Structure 1
């Protein structure tokens, strides 16, 4: 797969912006600045310069749905149609068999992410609950019926942890936050239909059609919104940079310049 790297001499707030012509459905950036992309062809790893380094796919498992980078050591690949997930290291090498949620008795899971202490979070779309489970599929914590607690059904588009908290982005509700014991703590509301989410040590970021919005984790400070020149299908915040993609091109720009 040929990758074309372009540089813009002027960008947002008159600062340079890099572009990588890489097809993707979604992507994440690791702590080395490498880009992991999901596409119809599978999972690809690119260098910080946009050079293809490795390709990974499991044709027998079907389409890869999402990537979770909550851990700096490994990525979780979710196969929604099974449902099940795999863990791969930073070279895209699997280091565990497929975790088959269907065979384990959880056929209605629609979202999964890594948790702490060798455990995982999942959302069950029939029971309307999030639950944390260990490597043997034993449930450690569960939220109870969120349709009752929240007054709405969740439709997770992104799910990840930060510290001991779980963050779930819903296109309409906003970002729903839970503690380590699956208790609902708060919901951060946002205007517009959300398309993606990322959580850093000090902030929650979400994207809408052509903007990225920043909120503090408690929702106490005013929101900061940055308008972008192209559609945001997926984005990630890593090492002081914001990366966003429209499905064909991944852009990057300095985080501080975006929200000045």
Structure 2
């Protein structure tokens, strides 16, 4: 009698597991080749291929395109504010701002005319301002909407007493996160004062939400709570070599050579 009860329980568990797997939502797939991609807080997706930016809605439908052949390839896209998307063209040291229709909504900013000819990184900041990292003097500068400098860190190699080679930065909730793969993520406040270093190394890109850093590690999706010093990773299904990974709105966006996979997570 007891054996029959155990057998019934096992069958019920297997049946439930099969039902859950059978009803798991199928991932949404966008078939396209790209160099890199990003997302915004509304679930829109921005895919870059050389000089072209393509915006897809959260349902995977193509919405708009933008291209400027005069400026060459797009180096970076920051869609933190989906109403003012920041495009950076490193080869020409120019910053463009697009609205949610991917139309120009303000004057082009020439960093050369502002006196910054070796700017490696650009990202969005609060109140329609923006940050740049200038390689010539290893300095972070923040500019307001009128392209007037309002914050400067000074030479970071002297401030931090360390050699840094930043390759990515983003602002979140009044703090700037500057990634230097060999040393970690340096955090500065909105006034350019150094706050802390988060010792996650060898990253190329990441996201910040509350006190958590989300990032890709090989074929895993990882999170690190830098206030509790807790980390966790989850190995993802093998759909090919990952070339990009983002998380938002309870969805995981996995980029591959010729497709983008969007799934509930």
Q: Report the TM-score when normalising by structure 1.
A: 0.84
Aligned residues: 241
**Hey, which of these two has a bigger chunk of helix by percent?**
2
Q: Please list every run of 5 or more consecutive structure 2 residues that lacks an aligned counterpart in the other structure.
A: 1-19
| Candidates 224, 229, 237, aligned match of 1:215 | 224
Question: Does the alignment pair 1:141 with 2:151?
Answer: yes
Helix, strand or coil for the counterpart of 2:253?
Answer: strand
Distance in 1 separating the partners of 2:148 and 2:55: 32
For 2:100, the equivalent position in structure 1 comes to 90
Distance in 2 separating the partners of 1:20 and 1:174: 33
Tell me how far 1:116 sits from its aligned partner: 1.4
For 1:107, the equivalent position in structure 2 comes to 117
Question: Does the alignment pair 1:203 with 2:212?
Answer: yes
Contact 1:195-1:233 at 8 Å conserved across structures: no
Q: CA RMSD in A?
A: 2.2
| Candidates 50, 53, 72, aligned match of 1:62 | 72
- Correspondences of 1:1-260 after superposition (within 5 Å): 16-148=26-158, 149-156=160-167, 158-191=168-201, 193-216=202-225, 218-228=226-236, 229=238, 230-255=240-265
Q: Deviations over 1:194-230 (max 9, x none)?
A: 23211223421122332232112x3433211222324
Between 135-144 and 117-126, report the one with greater CA deviation: 135-144
Greater relative contact order, per chain length (Cα 8 Å cut-off, separation 6+): 1
Distance in 2 separating the partners of 1:117 and 1:240: 27
Contact 2:39-2:46 at 8 Å conserved across structures: yes
Between 232-241 and 99-108, report the one with greater CA deviation: 232-241
Tell me how far 1:41 sits from its aligned partner: 4.7
Tell me how far 1:47 sits from its aligned partner: 2.6
Tell me how far 1:150 sits from its aligned partner: 4.9
Helix, strand or coil for the counterpart of 1:106?
Answer: coil
Distance in 1 separating the partners of 2:229 and 2:259: 32
Runs of 4+ in 1 over 3 A off after TM superposition: 14-18
Distance in 1 separating the partners of 2:161 and 2:232: 25
CA gap 1:30/1:117 in 2 versus in 1, 3 angstroms = closer
CA gap 1:41/1:72 in 2 versus in 1, 3 angstroms = closer
Contact 1:195-1:232 at 8 Å conserved across structures: no
Helix, strand or coil for the counterpart of 1:220?
Answer: coil
CA gap 1:181/1:41 in 2 versus in 1, 3 angstroms = closer
Q: Please list every run of 5 or more consecutive structure 1 residues that lacks an aligned counterpart in the other structure.
A: 1-9, 256-260
Q: Deviations over 1:103-126 (max 9, x none)?
A: 211111111111113321110112
